[in-house]
Amino acid sequence: MISVDRISKSYGQIHAVRDVSFSIQRGQCVGLLGPNGAGKSTTIKIITGLIPPTAGSARVGELDTIDDSIRARRLIGYLPESNALYPEMRVRDYLAFRSRLYPLSRAQRSRGIEMALERCWLKDVAHRRIGQLSKGYKQRTGLAAALVHSPPVLVLDEPTSGLDPTQISETRGLIKSLASDRTVLVCSHILPEIELTCDRVLIIARGRLRADGSPRDLVRTMHTGGEHVVEAAVPAALREQAHRALAGVKGVTAVRFEAAKSSNDWAHYAVSTDAGHPDVREGLARAMGELGALVREIRRPSATLEQVFMRVIESDAEEAPR
Partner 1 sequence: MRALGAILWREYASFFRLPLGWVVVALFLCLSGVFFMDGAVRPGSPATMREFFAVWWGLLLFLAPAVSMRLFSEELRSGTIETMLGAPVSEAVLVAGKYLAGVAFLLTMLAPTLVYVGVLEWLSRPDYGPVASGYLGLVLLGMLYLAVGTLASATTASQTLAFLGTLVVLLMLDVLPRQVAGHLPERAAQTLIAFSPSQRARDFYQGLIDTAHIAYFLLACVWVLAIATVVLQSRRWR
| Contact positions vs partner 1 (CB under 8 A) | 48-52, 70-71, 73-74, 76, 78, 80, 82, 84-86, 88-89, 97-98, 100-103, 145
Strand pairing class (55-60; 2-11) = antiparallel
State which H helix or E strand residue 269 sits in. Answer: strand 266-273
Closest separation between CB of residue 110 and partner 1, Å? Answer: 14
Torsional class of 49: left (φ above 0), alpha (ψ -120 to 50), beta (otherwise): left
Closest separation between CB of residue 117 and partner 1, Å? Answer: 18
Which residue's CB is nearer to partner 1, number 64 or number 212?
Answer: 64
Closest separation between CB of residue 49 and partner 1, Å? Answer: 7
- For residues 79-97, one letter each, b for 16 or more C-beta atoms within 10 angstroms of the residue's C-beta and e for the rest, the string is bbbebebeeebbbbbbbbe
Helix, strand, coil content of the chain in percent (nearest 5): 40, 30, 35
Which residue's CB is nearer to partner 1, number 100 or number 216?
Answer: 100
Of 46, 51, 50, give the one whose Cα is nearest residue 20: 46
Which residue's CB is nearer to partner 1, number 157 or number 195?
Answer: 157
Closest separation between CB of residue 128 and partner 1, Å? Answer: 14
Which residue's CB is nearer to partner 1, number 88 or number 258?
Answer: 88
β-strand partners of 22: 4
Instruction: Please name the residues in contact with 135: beta carbons below 8 A apart, sequence gap of 6 or more.
Output: 162, 163
Which residue's CB is nearer to partner 1, number 74 or number 189?
Answer: 74
Which residue's CB is nearer to partner 1, number 49 or number 215?
Answer: 49
Closest separation between CB of residue 88 and partner 1, Å? Answer: 4
Closest separation between CB of residue 90 and partner 1, Å? Answer: 10
